[in-house]
Amino acid sequence: MGSPYTVQIVGASLEPGQLEDLQGEVERTLLEVNRQMSHYQPESELSRFNRAAAGTPFKVSPEFARVMRFTLELCRQTGGALDPTLAPVINLWGFGEKTAERAVPEAEALEAARRHTGWRHLRVTTGDELIKDIPELTVNLSAVAKGFGVDQMVEVLQRRGFTNVYASIAGEVRVLGHNARGTNWQIGISAPISNWREDGPMTAVVSLSNQAISTSGDYQKFFFDTRGRRLCHILDPKTGWPVQHNVGGVSVVAPDSMTADALSTVLFVLGAEAGLQFIEGWTNAAALFIVREAEGRFREIPSSRFERLTGHRP
C-alpha cells in the first residue's frame, strides 16, 4: 500500500519464534489485501476488473465484494461525495499510479476523464461479482482499502487472543483494550501545516479503546498552482477538482478502521457545515474538523459526540 504498518501488543509474552510467526501472518494478510484491491499491482483483482469488459460479471473475493458494497452504500448516502470510480481523474492530476507529475489539467482533458467516471455505473451482485456498464470505468479504493487492511490485521490479532493492541497503516489506526500504562491509548492528531512531518506538532490528542481513528487532510499530498491555490489529492467528485475550502483536516472516530477511513474522506469533501450534519446521523461515530483560519492558526470544530467518544475537549 506504499505505507508502513505498525503493530503493538501489550501484556503478551512472546518468544522470538512466536513473534516471527505472528508477523508473518500479519504480512500475509496485508499482501492478500493488496492482491485483491491494489490499483498499483497489475494482476490484483481490482486491476483486472479495471481491464474487464463492460456488462460482463467479474468474480471477486468475498472481502473485495464486502468493501465494494460498503463503499457504494456510502456513495448513495452522501449523494456521491465518495466515488470509487474517480481513478482517471486522480491520475490526470498526478495523484494516482500513472505519474507523479502534478499539474492542473486542461479543461478538455478533465471533462473527457470525468465522462469515464460515476459510481452509479458500478454494481455488486449477490454472487460477489462486479459489473460496470461503461467500458472505460475503473476503480480506485484508496479511500477505504488501508482502513480495511487495518481491520484485517486486528482480526488476526484477535484470533490469536490478544486484547490490548495498537494497529495502524500510515494514518489509519485501530486500538483494542489499553496501552502499557493500563490506560486508554493516546492518539495524536497532526496539525495541518504545509511543512508537515512525521514528528510535527499535534493539534489534539484523543483517548481511545476498542475504536478506530482516521484523518484526511490537505497537508501531505498537495501542490500549489500558479495562482497560489493549495491543490490536494482529495478530489470533489462533483467537479473533478481538488477540494477547495478552509478545512485542513478532519479526524473520524468509529468502531472499525474501514468506516473511519471512508468517513474521513467523505467529511473532508463535504466540508465542515455539511459534514457536521452528515456525521450526526452516525450514532457510533464522531468527527473533529480542523479549520484553517490563517497559515499556522487553526480552530477545532467537533461533532456532538466527539468528546464523549474520545475524551477530547476542544
What's the pLDDT at 163? 96
Determine phi and psi for 272, rounding to 5 degrees: -65, -50
Determine the Cα–Cα distance for residues 310 and 117; give it in Å rounded to an integer.
Answer: 37
Q: Cβ distance 189 to 249 under 8 Å?
A: yes
Q: pLDDT by residue (tens digit) across 8-60?
A: 999 988 999 999 999 999 999 999 999 999 989 999 999 999 999 999 999 99
What's the pLDDT at 86? 96
Mean pLDDT score across all residues of the chain: 94
Position 301 confidence tier, pLDDT thresholds 50, 70, 90: very high
Q: Which three cell numbers stand for residue 198?
A: 512525521
What's the pLDDT at 222? 87
pLDDT at 146 over 90: yes
What's the pLDDT at 99? 67
Answer positive or negative: Cα dihedral of 222, 73, 213, 204.
positive
Let me know if residue 92 belongs to a domain: no
Rg for the chain, CA atoms, rounded: 19
Beta-carbon contacts of 161 under 8 Å, excluding residues fewer than 6 positions away, are: none
Let me know if residue 233 belongs to a domain: yes
Let me know if residue 60 belongs to a domain: no
Range of the domain at 269: 178-310
Start-to-end Cα distance in the chain = 33
Let me know if residue 214 belongs to a domain: yes
Let me know if residue 1 belongs to a domain: no
Let me know if residue 304 belongs to a domain: yes
pLDDT at 191 over 90: no
Determine the Cα–Cα distance for residues 310 and 306; give it in Å rounded to an integer.
Answer: 6
What pairing do the DSSP bridges indicate for beta strands 222-224 and 185-190? unpaired
pTM value is 0.95
SS3 state of residue 186? strand
Let me know if residue 6 belongs to a domain: no
**Rounded average pLDDT over 182-189:** 96
**Rounded average pLDDT over 103-129:** 96
Please report, for the domain that includes residue 259, its CATH number. Answer: 3.10.520.10
pLDDT at 98 over 70: no
Position 201 confidence tier, pLDDT thresholds 50, 70, 90: confident
Number of domains in the chain: 1
What's the pLDDT at 97? 72
Instruction: Residue 37: name the closest of 115, 147, 136 by CA.
Output: 147
Let me know if residue 19 belongs to a domain: no
pLDDT at 314 over 80: no
Determine the Cα–Cα distance for residues 161 and 155; give it in Å rounded to an integer.
Answer: 10
Position 239 confidence tier, pLDDT thresholds 50, 70, 90: very high
Q: Cβ distance 231 to 242 under 8 Å?
A: yes
